Amino acid sequence: MKQRFVLDTTAITDTGLRLREGYENICESAQEVLDLIAIARLKFDISCYIPYPTVYGELVSFLRRYNCSEDVFVKLDTWLVKKTPNRYEVKIPAAIFYEYVLTMRQKINRGRKLAEEYIWESSAVTSSIISGNENEKKEAVEREIGSLIGKFRDKYKTTMRQGILDSSPDLDVLLLAKELEAGVVSSDAGIRKWSERMGLRFVEASKFPRMLKEYLALVDKFGGSE
């Protein structure tokens, strides 16, 4: 059966991928991964898709931010199949939607409790700063409360975003994979979790290049494709 993969932005830009493969920067990793995808397409007829325009636009913007060469964008347009998921025809079981609603409710409750904890802590910090002149007290309050706000933002982001789909590109990856009966390539925890729930094949972004290299190594060894 012909293999298809739907790529998330992290399939090209993941930090773990660069560390695992020894790439120096994002532009080099993009160049190398796209080269592997090209060879896999020619030798195995493996097709790699990218949701358009959501994930495609996100990836292009990301690569331009790092001043990647035009060669990278030519390869991106040549070897990745741009496709908009058919959002009106793809069917998702009601149980998935039900579970997602429950997950979001739990996340909201955790976020509320976290906010309440930091409100009480900030109140205690403010009350403890009672000595010194007005300017000193103001500076102390701003310093301590500023530190608490920073900690709250980090914990709130982890609590609310980890393991959920929090953007339209994330959802488009799953919808397109479902539509094409394709595997998903990503390093996003939310995409991974809901890929498993939807019964989709999932490949870690950091392992995708090595998987393609293994295919190619076997071709070189046995002198042909399956």
Is the Cβ–Cβ distance between 33 and 209 less than 8 Å?
yes
Domain ranges of the chain: 4-92+168-222, 94-161
Question: What pLDDT is recorded for position 120?
Answer: 82
Average pLDDT rounded to a whole number, residues 63-90? 96
pLDDT tens figures, 86-132: 999 998 888 887 888 888 888 788 888 888 888 888 877 777 766 55
Identity of residue 196: E
138 Rama class: left (phi>0) / alpha (psi -120 to 50) / beta: alpha
Residue whose C-alpha is closest to residue 73's, from 60, 62, 54, 56 = 60
Q: pLDDT confidence of 145, banded at 50, 70, 90?
A: confident
* CA gap 148, 151 in Å, rounded: 5
What is the DSSP secondary-structure string of 132-195?
S-HHHHHHHHHHHHHHHHHHHHHHHHHHHHTTS--SHHHHHHHHHHHHHT-EEEE--HHHHHHH
More confident call, 115 vs 33: 33
Is the Cβ–Cβ distance between 6 and 177 less than 8 Å?
yes
Give the chain's mean pLDDT: 87
Average pLDDT rounded to a whole number, residues 64-79? 96
More confident call, 74 vs 148: 74
Q: Which CATH superfamily is domain 4-92+168-222 in?
A: 5'-nuclease (3.40.50.1010)
Quickly count: other Cβ atoms within 10 Å of residue 190's Cβ. 19
